[in-house]
Amino acid sequence: MSASANRTKEDGIESRRDLEVDNSSSGSMKLHDLSPLSKSKKGSTTNSTKDLSKTPNTELKLNEEEEYEEDDEDNEVEISQSYTETTENSFNQFDFTNPSSILKFKYRSISATLIRAINLFRNSHKLGNIGESPLLSKLAMKHSLAMAKGETKFSAAPVRSEVLSQPFANFYAHVTKSDSPNHAFLDVANEWATDPNLSKALLSKINVVGVGMASNKKISFFTVICAVKSYIGNSQLVGDELRSVLLGNRCIQLVNKIRKDFDLQTYLYDDYLSMHAYKFCQADHTKITQKFMSSRFNDVSNIHVDFGQVDFEKANPKSIVEEWMHQTQHPIAILGEFNRIGIGFCLKKNKLCSVRIVTRSLHASLIDGSEVLVDNHILAKHVAEEMNDFREQHSLARLNLDDDLFKFAQIHSEYIANGSEGTNPIEDDFYQNIIEPRYKLSDISHTTCREMSRAPKEVMKKWRNNTDCVSVVLNLVDDIGVGLCFDEDYVCHVTVIIADKGGEKEVVNKIVSL
C-alpha cells in the first residue's frame, strides 16, 4: 500500500489510485384507490381509445392542448411516490443542454419506473404487462429533450409524423410537464392514471409503450407513447422471418405458463433478441459461444443462448417447448433468472431448428419490478459494510466511515462514469487541501459491475478475488469512503478509498492467502 498507486487488474478492478453522495431514487410503487390532486399540466395528441381497441390502421387525429380536469372517482388511482425530494432537487447540478451519462441514466431509470407504474395500473384492472418499445422510448426521449431545451413547443404534435412512419397499427401520445420540485414523479403518475383519454388507452389492447423524460432547471417534461404493434403488414418482416416471429410468440406463451407453475416471473418478448436469434439459427452454432454473446450484448447483466431442433412434420408450439424442456440445460433458459427472451426458427433439411436467447438487464428489471432504484449513498454504505464484515471475519477492527472520503469517492466515481471529462478529482483542491493532508497513506480503486441492488456483494466478490485488493482491505488502516453511481448503460461505477492516518502500527503490502 502506498501514498500513490495506480494499477490495472484483469479480474475486474479496472483501476486503482491514491481515494456528496448522489441522491438517486428509491422505493417501489403501489396502486391505491385514493383521489389524488395533480399539480402537473398536459398536452396530448392521439386517436380515441375506441380506435385503439377496435379500429386498426386508422390515421390519428391530433388534439389541441387541453386544460386538466378532475375525473370521476371511479377512474382515480394514486401511484405512491417513488422518488425522494432530494432526488428531484439534485437535477439542479446538471448541464441540461448537454446531458451527461449520469443524467441520461436518471432519465432512463425514471422512464423505466414510469412504465412499471403503467403496468401496475394495468394489473389493477386485471390486465397483463406490456413491454417497452425501444423505438417509442427513443422517440419519446427525443421529444422530451426537445421540449426541455426549448426547441419545440409543449405539444405532442411533433410525435405524430415520426410514429406514423413506423409499424404501428395505431397509437396514443401524451405529454405532461410538472414544475413541482418535489413531487413531479408522483404528479405525473397520478395524472396518467386519472386522465380519461390516456387511462382508456393504457387499458386498451396496446402491446408496447415508450416513455421519455427530460428536465431543465425549472420544469420536467414527460412523453408517453402507447401503441399497437403489428407484425403482419410490417414490410421489415416477411417470409421465413415473419413466420419465425409468429411461432416464437406462440411458444413464449407456453414457456410463461411453465414459469408461472414454478412461481417465476414471466418473460416479455424482445424483438431485438428475436431478430438475432433468427440470424444465429442460420449460422454455425459452434461459433455462437457464451463469450461471443456477452460481447455482442454488452448492455445486459446476464445472457444465455440455447439451441434445439424437432422434426419439421411434427413441429408445433407444444412439441417445440417439450423438446426444450427435455434438454440438459433447460433449467437455465426456461427456468433461469432472466426477464427477456427472443426466439428464432429456421428450416434445415427436414428439421425445424430453434435458437433461444434469454437476458437479464437492469433496465428491464426496473420495468418488471424485480429491481427498484435505491439511493446511491445507501448502496455505497452497503459496499463499505461488506468490506468491514470481511475484515471482522479476519479478526480486524471495522474501518471508520469518513464523510469526506465518501464525498470525494462519489465525485471520483461520477468523474469516471461521465467519461473522465473535466478536471481529475485527484487534482482538485478538495482532495489536495482536505483529504491528502489528513492521511499518511491512501489507496483508491475503481471497479464496475452490471448490478443494482446486488452491487455491494458483486463488488466484494471482485475484491475477494484480487490479491492486491485483499492486501489493502486487510491491512492496519483507519478510514474508508465509497462512491457509487450509474452511467446511461446501467453500468455501476464504484470508487473505494481506504486511508491510514499514520501511527505506531506498520502498514505493509502483503499477499493474503484465503
C-alpha to C-alpha distance for 164 and 246, rounded to whole angstroms: 23
The three cell numbers of residue 83 are 422518488
**Backbone region of residue 275 per phi and psi (left: phi > 0; alpha: psi in -120 to 50; beta: other values):** alpha
Give the list of residues 6+ apart from residue 283 with CB closer than 8 angstroms, or none.
none
> Could you report the per-residue pLDDT of 460-503, keeping only the tens digit for each?
999 999 988 999 999 999 999 999 999 999 999 999 999 999 86
Neighbours of 219 (CB within 10 A): 18
pLDDT band at 235 (very low <50, low <70, confident <90, very high): low
Give the list of residues 6+ apart from residue 446 with CB closer than 8 angstroms, or none.
13, 14, 15, 16, 17, 412, 413, 416, 493, 494, 495, 496
The three cell numbers of residue 72 are 370521476
The domain made up of 31-229 has a fold known as: Pathogenesis-related Protein p14a (3.40.33)
Give the list of residues 6+ apart from residue 403 with CB closer than 8 angstroms, or none.
none
The three cell numbers of residue 61 are 387525429
- Domain range annotation of the chain: 15-21+375-500, 31-229, 239-368
pLDDT band at 513 (very low <50, low <70, confident <90, very high): very low
Give the list of residues 6+ apart from residue 430 with CB closer than 8 angstroms, or none.
407, 408, 411
pLDDT for 328 beyond 60: yes
> Top-level CATH class of 239-368?
alpha beta
pLDDT for 345 beyond 90: yes
pLDDT for 397 beyond 60: yes
Per-position DSSP letters for 117-131, written without gaps between them: HHHHHHHTTT----E
User: Phi first, then psi: what are they for 90, rounded to 5°?
Assistant: -70, -15
* Residues 293/303, Cβ–Cβ less than 8 Å: yes
* Residues 115/68, Cβ–Cβ less than 8 Å: no
> Could you report the per-residue pLDDT of 492-502, keeping only the tens digit for each?
999 999 999 98
pLDDT for 175 beyond 50: yes
C-alpha to C-alpha distance for 9 and 181, rounded to whole angstroms: 43
The three cell numbers of residue 499 are 486511508
pLDDT for 509 beyond 50: no
The three cell numbers of residue 103 are 443524467
> Could you report the per-residue pLDDT of 262-291, keeping only the tens digit for each?
999 999 999 999 999 999 999 988 888 888
Q: What residue spans of 195-329 are helical by DSSP H?
A: 196-202, 239-261, 271-281, 290-296, 317-325
Which of 190, 178, 180 minimizes the C-alpha distance to 30? Answer: 190
* pLDDT given at position 93: 52
> Could you report the per-residue pLDDT of 88-106, keeping only the tens digit for each?
344 445 555 678 999 999 9
The reply to whether domains 15-21+375-500 and 31-229 share a CATH topology is yes
Which of 193, 208, 50 minimizes the C-alpha distance to 139? Answer: 208
C-alpha to C-alpha distance for 212 and 223, rounded to whole angstroms: 5
* Residues 443/499, Cβ–Cβ less than 8 Å: yes
C-alpha to C-alpha distance for 424 and 326, rounded to whole angstroms: 55
* CA neighbours closer than 13 Å in the CB half-sphere of residue 232: 5
The three cell numbers of residue 101 are 451519462
Q: In this structure, which CATH number among 1.10.375.10, 2.160.20.70, 3.10.105.10, 3.40.33.10 belongs to the domain 15-21+375-500?
A: 3.40.33.10
Identify the three-state secondary structure at position 502: coil
